[in-house]
A and B are shown apart, each in its own frame.
Chain A
């Protein structure tokens, strides 16, 4: 398949449409579209972009798409890949939000949302569990987790302040050569 900007857009639009729930499903979706069907990149490259996508701020699914888009067609490729992956999300929410404003006042809808609010707590718990596996790799990161948690939950510290603080600690740790990397690669 030819790598035109239009093709890149359509491919990521399709992936964006099929993407339900957390961003974790993007890997198998991209595998089938980009590696198996289109043969634009190979499996190793995709996994590398996925890992890199997690080490850059922002939404992992979008980050992965931007990396792949850039690889295919430089900056224009990155831009159309972004548009493709974001558009389905944008359109579906606009449609739903308009309808929702009307129906949300009904009593039975309120009851459904009450239940779903509890479902969301479970989804967050699952996301934390997933992130924990990848992030809390030793005693030190475990401390970081609990300190961040306490500052955020009990003292309402702004998230950005905590992120910036941990960026500085990360740089300082490396500067002091306090950490050694053995098997810390993603």
Chain B
């Protein structure tokens, strides 16, 4: 039953992703590997689109992945189940806010979880890099990287430039 599977997959994403919207990507990447609901290439497209549509990227990507898997009902289930763990946990935590904030175990776990979430995301980045790159892409990547060093730019900047380069490169058949 695809809807139940969707619910379980996205509920577990909501429950285990630490470090913001992008932290959901390692899980979505893993789903692409294991469940084959969409390809990793399609996931990369979804991330790009999610970055330029209104709303938190994590919610956008979940909605999108759900849509890819099982249409509108799928996107509804994916969105609801990715947010549900947060809603339940926070309502509970809010009731015991003071204890939660100063609990040593909580702080120690968070101290561990932050670098773990960061490492997971880095692995996705490297994997996407290896999967989608050719000579022309390397040049584009190097250019964007240099641009990111000079000042803090909007995500739209990177996506806009790379879309434009893609369009031109496609014209000359360089996208391999």
Interface residues of A (CB under 8 A from B): 16-24, 26, 52, 54-63, 66-67, 70-71, 75, 78-79, 82, 85-86, 88-90, 92-94, 96-97, 100, 104, 107-108, 110-128, 131-132, 134-136, 141-142, 144-149, 152-153, 156, 158-160, 162-164, 166-167, 169-171, 173-174, 179, 181, 184
Given the interface contacts A16-B54, A75-B91, A119-B158, does A167 sit within 8 Å of B59 by beta carbon? no
How far apart are B175's CB and chain A's nearest CB, in angstroms? Answer: 4
Q: Which residues of A contact B93 (CB under 8 A)?
A: 52, 56
What 0/1 readout, one digit per residue, does chain B (103-131) give for beta carbons within 8 Å of chain A? 01111111111111111111111111100
Q: State how many angstroms separate the Cβ of B75 from the closest Cβ of chain A.
A: 6
**Which B residues are CB-close (under 8 A) to A115?**
140, 162-167, 169, 175
> Known contacts A118-B140, A163-B117; can you find 7 more A-B pairs with CB under 8 A?
A61-B20, A63-B86, A145-B122, A159-B16, A159-B17, A159-B26, A174-B105
Q: How far is the CB of B29 from chain A (nearest CB, A)?
A: 8
Interface: B70 (CB within 8 A): no
Q: Which residue of A lies closest to B119 (CB)?
A: A148
Is there an interface contact between A124 and B124, defined as CB atoms closer than 8 Å?
Answer: yes
The distance in angstroms between the C-alpha atoms of A27 and B66, with both chains bound, is 28
B128 touches A124 (CB 8 A): yes
Q: Hey, which chain B residues are within 8 Å of A92, CB to CB?
A: 53-55, 60
